[in-house]
């Protein structure tokens, strides 16, 4: 089978490897769609994220769907949950498997991911896809799950005003989920060099403000909300400027949810502003228990994920797919079967 491995910064190579043999409790899955995530781009450009580094050629990819190719469920289309928690540690037992001390996560060193033709994966981590969802829709359920988890952490309720700072695929999905959760007013920001993202946020009903180095967007958001600010701010850019803008634009007593991953593994903001406002800060660690909810949201039409997919590449053109995603030429890039 064909496999894409990352050997170092920006060094993706195509390999020919044996098809894996599933162990007891696993199914063989033919991977049909894998999304390129912002975290994948960190691995691609830096050969690591924070203190986690590539120590051997790594298969990236964790936003995926496929078709079961073994056992009694052969032929079943599925979304692939990339997280395998141990179920035994204190965090799993507390209901927080995303914080598992022994978590295996596809595409995060040292665990190989889904940019390959086949993988053997625990059957209980495979979620059947309804006929109404395409394989690409199935791959989008993982980033949708991150957005759901973020909105849960934000405690978004009916009638709230929500701000999203960074309108990549995760930020756009947060807008969609916050709207489904009852937010009645949405504002969004991004830098002017990514007009497609700003246009997409506007098409979702958000009032869009262009971000700049002086955080004028925060002043504009405060003015637009009558000086009150947003109830919950979601930072989805991975940039300290977006964190500062989110803190400046949220109301006193509000929540700021940090989703983005900074390239230098540092998050900084003006402490006095956050302190005087008495803000609650939450950091997103992937997702938990979200696949069934994500499937229902998409199947019911409450959240559209299909419109975010702008580019598709076959597996052998993964390097081009990553280059396209890195240059922010579209929204979501999918690798897999055409």
Query: Cα separation of 159 and 185, whole Å?
Result: 8
Domain annotation covers residue 225? yes
The answer on 278 and 176 residing in a single domain is: yes
User: Quick check: 261 and 284 in contact, CB under 8 A?
Assistant: no
Q: What is the pLDDT of residue 213?
A: 81
Is residue 289 helix, strand or coil?
coil
Which residues of the chain register pLDDT less than 70?
338
Query: Cα separation of 124 and 145, whole Å?
Result: 17
Residue 211 domain boundaries: 145-283
CATH number of 16's domain: 3.90.180.10
Supply 50's token pair. 């924070």
Domain annotation covers residue 292? no
pLDDT digits (tens, 9 = 90+) for 90-135: 999 999 999 999 999 999 999 999 999 999 999 999 999 999 999 9
The answer on 113 and 243 residing in a single domain is: no
User: Quick check: 232 and 226 in contact, CB under 8 A?
Assistant: no
Looking at the chain, which runs of residues are DSSP E strands? 2-8, 11-16, 26-35, 48-49, 52-53, 63-68, 77-80, 83-84, 104-105, 118-122, 126-128, 161-165, 185-190, 207-210, 230-235, 250-258, 280-283, 309-313, 332-336
Domain count, the chain: 2
Q: What is the pLDDT of residue 338?
A: 61
Describe the chain by its helix, strand, coil percentages, rounded to 5. Answer: 35, 30, 40
Query: Cα separation of 166 and 187, whole Å?
Result: 11
Quote the percentage of the chain above a pLDDT of 70.
100
pLDDT digits (tens, 9 = 90+) for 134-160: 999 999 999 999 999 999 999 999 999
Predicted TM-score of the model (pTM): 0.96
Domain annotation covers residue 124? yes
Buried b (16+ CB within 10 A) or exposed e, 78-104: bbbbbbbbeeebebbeeeebbbbeebb
The answer on 313 and 275 residing in a single domain is: no
The answer on 184 and 91 residing in a single domain is: no
CATH number of 188's domain: 3.40.50.720
């Amino acid at each position: 089978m064909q496999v894409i491995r990352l050997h170092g910064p920006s060094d993706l190579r195509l390999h020919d490897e044996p098809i894996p043999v599933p162990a007891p409790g696993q199914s063989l899955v033919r991977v049909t769609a894998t999304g390129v995530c912002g975290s994948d781009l960190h691995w691609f450009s830096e050969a690591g994220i924070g203190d986690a580094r590539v120590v051997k050629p790594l298969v990236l990819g964790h936003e995926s769907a496929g078709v079961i190719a073994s056992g009694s469920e052969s032929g079943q289309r599925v979304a692939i949950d990339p997280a395998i928690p141990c179920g035994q540690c204190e965090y799993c037992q507390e209901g927080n498997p995303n914080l598992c001390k022994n978590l295996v996560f596809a595409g995060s060193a040292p665990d190989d991911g889904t940019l390959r033709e086949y993988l053997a994966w625990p059957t209980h981590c495979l979620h059947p896809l309804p006929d109404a969802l395409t394989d690409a829709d199935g791959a989008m359920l993982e980033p949708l799950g991150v957005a759901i988890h973020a909105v849960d952490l934000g405690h978004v309720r009916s009638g709230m005003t929500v701000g999203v700072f960074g309108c990549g695929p995760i930020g756009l999905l947060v807008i969609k989920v916050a709207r489904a959760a009852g937010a009645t007013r949405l504002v969004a920001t991004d830098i002017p060099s990514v007009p497609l993202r700003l246009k997409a946020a506007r098409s979702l009903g958000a009032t869009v403000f262009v971000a700049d180095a002086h955080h004028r967007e925060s002043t504009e958001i405060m003015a637009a909300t009558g000086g009150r600010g947003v109830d919950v701010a979601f930072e989805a850019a991975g940039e300290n400027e977006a964190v500062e803008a989110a803190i400046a634009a949220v109301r006193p007593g509000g929540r700021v949810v940090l989703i983005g991953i900074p390239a230098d593994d540092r998050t900084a903001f003006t402490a006095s502003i956050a302190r005087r406002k008495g803000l609650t800060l939450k950091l997103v660690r992937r997702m938990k228990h979200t696949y069934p909810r994500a499937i229902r949201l998409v199947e019911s039409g409450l959240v559209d994920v299909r419109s975010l997919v702008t580019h598709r590449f076959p597996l052998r053109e993964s390097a081009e797919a990553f280059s396209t995603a890195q240059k922010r030429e579209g929204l979501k890039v999918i690798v897999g079967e055409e």
